[in-house]
Amino acid sequence: MLKGVRKFFRTGLILYKQEFGQTRGGTFKKATIINLLGRVVAGLVSLVSVRLLITYLTNEGFGILTTITSMTSWLALTNLGFGVGLQNLLIDAVTKGDLGREKKLISTTQIVLGSVCLVMLTGWLVVFQSSMIPWVQLLNVSSPKYVNEVGQAVFWSGVIALILVYTSYVQAIYAANQKLHRFGIWQIFSQLCSLLGLVVVSISHASLGRAVLAIYGVPAGIMLLNSVWLGISHPDRYLPRISNFSLPELKQLLKFGGSFTLIGVTGILQYGTDNLIISNVLGSSYVTSYTVVIKLFNFFQSLMGAQLIPMWAALANAKSSGDWHWIRRQFGRVRNLTLAVNLVFFIGMILFGQLIIRLWIGSSVEVSLSLIVLVGFYALARAWADLHSILCNALDQAPISAILGVPIGVITVLIMYFSASSFGLNGMVLSEGLAMLLITGLVLPYIAYRTLNRLDSHV
């Protein structure tokens, strides 16, 4: 009997290695599965968090908290794009077995990001000590309770954003070694700890600042722990050393990172200003209605997007090997499946969205069918753009995307602000979706397919 059990597990291990081995396709599948599990956990934590936060903070408090975290996301731009800019460079070095360059890239990134974060943290402290920014007026806060808590919440949200800036290089290390499944396990753990923190602050009715620390500070702390663990477990490769600092590699990181910084500006303009516009123009309670709907679409798109980051790493690896046929086949499969399933979910939300929200949140938040339809349209346009953004990044076309992206982002924000002022929440969401589809949704596919055809023709 024991021999039979051993044979069963040995056979399973052999099949696992065959299916999810160290080949590009195998590591892509393994990373996608773990990433999907992580996104399921993160999505469920997010949905539970919304229910607990609305009950504990009320509609206005939840709207304020959401707007604060969106606003401080601007601090992420201080990473100079090094986190994602490092990824393609590091993948190339690891694929070619260039250990010396790998050490230089990682140490240079760590030293620059650490220096930037220290400078930014000092500036952040000065801003709050001098009370330079009227946060209460900017966020349109009316409740006396939150007037006294907003400043602390903004401060800690900014500190957390800077921690995430420093640890942004960690994902690139896992991606370069085709081990994103391990990074996914860390993320799952951080999300579960975040949920535990939320339960504690909701039971104790803690302040906005403590809520920020529990929900966002705990995962950021675990990512910082992850970076420390990498350095301790592989000190020869991942501990920063001044001797490994390289000006030539810094120039390369600035070249690629600058592109991703501009892309980050575009992303924040398109995805990070909506809550601030709604709060400033319409009021914090409108942020809650909008967030409840978009959380559901984001949860589903997050599940479908579980393959995007592993796909980026796999496509970049295929590019380094000149395997253009694999890139076309794999990307085509992912694109078609993602869009088809997103469309089915969109239809399902039109039919059952209001019922789902009522069961999830209760009667405290009213959401119209028109808002669900408009957010769904925006979500479809965003899914199309995100897919082709990943292909552009893997093909090293971030600089072109960045140059075009900033004016597109500015135009989008102006359209959104005008629409919110003139036509209310529905008008803003409609303009957001149309801008995404007609501008970004056309530019990114053109760049991606033109580049792929050019590279393939040179073989």
- Number of Cβ atoms within 10 Å of the Cβ of 319: 22
Give pTM, 2 decimals: 0.63
pLDDT at 226: 93
pLDDT at 370: 93
pLDDT at 17: 39
Q: Give mean pLDDT, residues 226-249.
A: 89
Asked if residue 459 has pLDDT above 80, the reply is no
For residue 397, what is the DSSP state?
-
- Number of residues written out for the chain: 459
pLDDT at 309: 66
How distant, in Å, are the alpha carbons of 135, 146, 149, 232 from that of 64?
11, 9, 10, 39
Q: What percent of the chain has pLDDT over 90?
A: 11
Confidence of residue 405 (pLDDT cuts 50, 70, 90): low
Asked if residue 42 has pLDDT above 80, the reply is no
pLDDT at 209: 82
pLDDT, tens digit, 9 for 90 and up, residues 134-149: 777 777 777 777 788 8
How distant, in Å, are the alpha carbons of 26, 74, 101, 193, 339 from that of 37?
17, 28, 33, 16, 20
Residue 14 CA, distance from chain mean position: 35
Q: How far apart are CA 178 and CA 28, in angstroms?
A: 8
Q: Which two tokens stand for residue 371?
A: 């808002």
Asked if residue 14 has pLDDT above 60, the reply is no
Three-state DSSP at 245 gives coil
pLDDT, tens digit, 9 for 90 and up, residues 306-361: 666 677 777 877 887 788 888 888 888 888 888 888 899 999 999 999 998 888 88
Asked if residue 85 has pLDDT above 50, the reply is yes
For residue 272, what is the DSSP state?
S
220 in the Ramachandran plot: left (φ > 0), alpha (ψ -120 to 50) or beta? alpha
Confidence of residue 271 (pLDDT cuts 50, 70, 90): low
